[in-house]
Structure formats: C-alpha cells, structure tokens
Amino acid sequence: QKEVEQDPGPLSVPEGAIVSLNCTYSNSAFQYFMWYRQYSRKGPELLMYTYSSGNKEDGRFTAQVDKSSKYISLFIRDSQPSDSATYLCAMSGGKLIFGQGTELSVKP
Amino acid sequence: EPEVTQTPSHQVTQMGQEVILRCVPISNHLYFYWYRQILGQKVEFLVSFYNNEISEKSEIFDDQFSVERPDGSNFTLKIRSTKLEDSAMYFCATPLAGLSTDTQYFGPGTRLTVL
C-alpha cells in the first residue's frame, strides 16, 4: 500500500463550481497535513496546512483532516480559471511525503 | 518575497558530468531539504540537512549525491556523475519562518536535463 494516495485526475469543472480534492494515507504517525498548488515546471506553493484533525478555512479554500479514516480533503468554493493547476497533498513526519497530485482545470 | 531562490533555473549536461545545484536562503535557516520531481511523477524527498549535517536521506540519495553548505549561506546539491534518469526538477525547501519544520516553503526549482 502506498503511503499517500491521490487521484491524479484530470478534473475539469465549470467556473463557480465547488471542487473537492482528496487524499488517503496509511501512516498514522503523520501529524501535519499540507496542500500545495503547482503550476507546470514551477515549485510547489504552500496553500494550507493543518495540524492533526479538524477543519481550517482560508478564503475560498477549506482543508479537512479526518485522522480516524486517514483521509484529507481540500475544498475550493467558487472556483476560478486561475485555480487551474495541479494540487498536491503532502504529509509530514519531518520530511514531506507527497501524493501524485490532481490536475484541475476550471473552465470559464 | 520568496524564502529561497535557486540557481540555475535550467541546467543541461552530458551524461557522466558533475553538476552543482544551488539554493540561496533569504534569511538564516538551519533546516534545508532537497526534493526532486521527475516529469509527470510525484515530488520525492532526497535529503534533509540541519545545522550543517545530513539528518535524513532517502534511498535515492546514493553515493552519487552530496550536499554542502560551503560558505555558510548557499546550500548546494552535487551530483557527481549524472545519469539520464537524473533528469528532473530539483527543489530545495526550508521551513516557514516561525512555524514547525513540517511546513516547508519550496524554491522555484532547477530543471536538470541530462543528455
């Protein structure tokens, strides 16, 4: 079983839609959970981080962590074409373990 | 304002040649990380470096790789004899100022092409 699994997509939605991105993981020792956004051939940009279980909101973005299910989510409300990118989940136990990344396309 | 910059942005080299990739922090950092991303694949951890010593390395980080902080500011990743499969984006990362080392800020990356 892979440590972190993420559906690679691609995911295509119309502008204004609510987007749900998800990852599962196997290592119960992970404590920090991150979401990064990456544009082609650029460095990952940290969007949100959450420590342990719970929800965190930042503008149109909401991160959720369910440690009992080993499942994390990122919701994007009122999606915009500028949100089109690859979204990476990452878990931390010192070093970061990344998911495959989900390619998102928001169509005007 | 980025926490780190990386040079060069793109490096083309012949197989068997040595390459040095550089990471320049904006402010003093004790922790550094190197990651790589082969085109179309996930970001993979290579090595972590704390207070001028390697603290952890992955299976990828074999004897062909080395890291240094040669002058107390720049942080380098050296690949001694490049192979075709070393072609990838290489990122350095540091913890965000004032936050846990688990939250890492990535540089823009160096694209390494081995011919």
pLDDT at position A99 = 96
CA angle A64-A68-A72, nearest 5°?
25
Q: What is the pLDDT of residues B38-92, one digit of tens each?
A: 999 999 999 998 878 899 999 999 999 999 888 777 889 999 999 999 999 999 9
pLDDT tens by residue, A16-44: 999 999 999 999 888 889 999 999 889 99
Question: How many A×B Cβ pairs under 8 Å?
Answer: 63
Cross-chain Cβ contact B33/A99 below 8 Å: no
Interface probe for B, chosen from A2, A38, A96 (most Cβ of B below 10 Å), is: A96
Measured CA to CA, the distance from residue B1 to residue B107 in angstroms comes to: 11
Q: What pLDDT score was predicted for residue B81?
A: 95
Least reliable range by pLDDT among A79-83, A104-108, B22-26, B94-98: B94-98
β-bridge pairing A102-107 and A85-93: antiparallel
Q: Sorting pLDDT into bands at 50, 70 and 90, what band is A9?
A: confident
Backbone phi, psi, residue A9, to 5°: 75, -145
Answer whether A92 sits within 8 Å of B102, measured CB to CB. Answer: yes
Q: If we measure between CA atoms, which residue out of A98, A16, A106, A55 comes closest to residue B38?
A: A98
Whose CA is closest to A45, among B35, B92, B106? B106
CA distance B24 to chain A (A): 15
Q: Is A44 helix (H, G, I), strand (E, B) or coil?
A: coil
According to the model, what pLDDT value does residue B14 have? 97
Nearest CA in chain B to A98: B43
Give B11's strand partners. Answer: B112
